[in-house]
Chains A and B, each alone.
Chain A
């Protein structure tokens, strides 16, 4: 730490003189928490589900902001900086989600109930690959994926209000034409639900193995870039 503090003191242009006194944000924070809880209680009287969405949404936002978790950076930084810490964080999140979703779906199936979330088992086609590719280009230019853009607008980063605007325009346009795409492109693909192919244990094993292999690849890649 001694070495670090010397770096700031050695600089010739002092920022301390022109530094504005920081506003105390704690009262605003406390007020915000009270408002959030109050809205949550109000939504709870209307429907329990709304209150749950409210709570989960706020929690997700806080985790995203405080954790500096960024899906864009997880895909971009390996190339730009050679760092894969976020890539590995995303892989760990996928692994946890895999186990969690498998447990929920298996639980419903073993009780003979319809599995939740099966409408998200969408057909796979070249459209998936192409869509992912243009999404990747877009998110690097915009400086964030959907959740990242929303989080940074909330942080007060003005430029990404522009991203948000075009994100909304694009979503509306996409929703408008979705019927055509679904009829002519998406429905031509094949629906794959891994447990139907490999069985529950097999699907879990295959998916987790792929994630572990990607994790190892990410680690090896970082070491290789560091050695350069």
Chain B
């Protein structure tokens, strides 16, 4: 009962439940109104950062193969832990704008080719050394070395030179790029002493928590760093802990039994059940991640745009959002951008399920027989179900989709980006330029739809060097329309990030840049007293 009261009073303090309702519910639980009122008072007081305690997260996405070397990060746990002990030059805010972090300010030359970042002074590394612009240069060097295995190699590819100039660091680019500062928010680019060249896995950074225990695939513990430069904003708990819990049921029960205070990746299937648990709050936020069906534009039969259009019209998007995402998401429009991106135009016509048009284009394409779609459990949560739903909606248009279920092992190496029609997902990128450059530019490594369009490529390059935002927005609108009408990608839905917190957690900020409050949950949140 006390847990329910706790929860209810907190809801009142957050303005989600009226005082009158609260007293009614409290009476139903057999509590006098005097006592109930006193509870309200303490809950309201608690609504401010509380210092101390051990904040624990149970997370999916860790394995015993993880390491503290930022260059190797690709799954959720090492990288979310990294966001607590390391910091980048800049940080993308929940509203999509950039905020200074280890860089104080920045600016570019008129052609957006030379960028200068003024580096923050008096910032201390966990090993006691003071951070210098040289450390920044070394970090960038390590991640852009052609021999490096860094996951940021693609991001660094456009940079020809990084050098120190007094208190600043100057980036010279091969081509103009108005988005460069956004690229530096990349989670691999944690500034480390001498760039981490001496010992890549040392785990030394400038973040609010220093690494205390590192047991890959089991748990990661950080203790508050006493000399942290930004201590009133971040790092409220005395200690933070990430426990790796890859099994969804185990994760939920750990939250329920109070062993952890927050979890990531609540499956859409069980959200409604988790919601009913007293004290647990579902934290869902619209993000840039989306699920895709990808057809190779240069491989028969998908080299025919009519067939691609037929496949697009045969997709019932509302149905997908409702059944696969259980409403925790929004419909896509066959290009990889949504309102979560800066410079998004919301006036591009929404494509709807239209069996007649699908049948018309299918006939016009001259293709005969079934279309083979490859899928797997790992393509995205519910991918196999989605393939079957699609099979049904396409059947109404007279298109036969043959679903082939591939093993999860080797799906990313043998099927995705190899087979002509398959399912996959994209986590989204901070800017439109990055998303398009990663997967839609003719020369992109991951051009997984084999989309080769000269006009589109030129527009992308032009937009990069364009510092006038109105013009850029217009170019991006036109590019979106091209991908929507000619591309090989079907985007049925954008998925929400769904996390959950217990009643003990305060200060959660909805942040659609990544799950777990943009990855910063452990240093943004605190434990309620």
A binds B: no
B residues within 8 Å of A by Cβ?
A: none
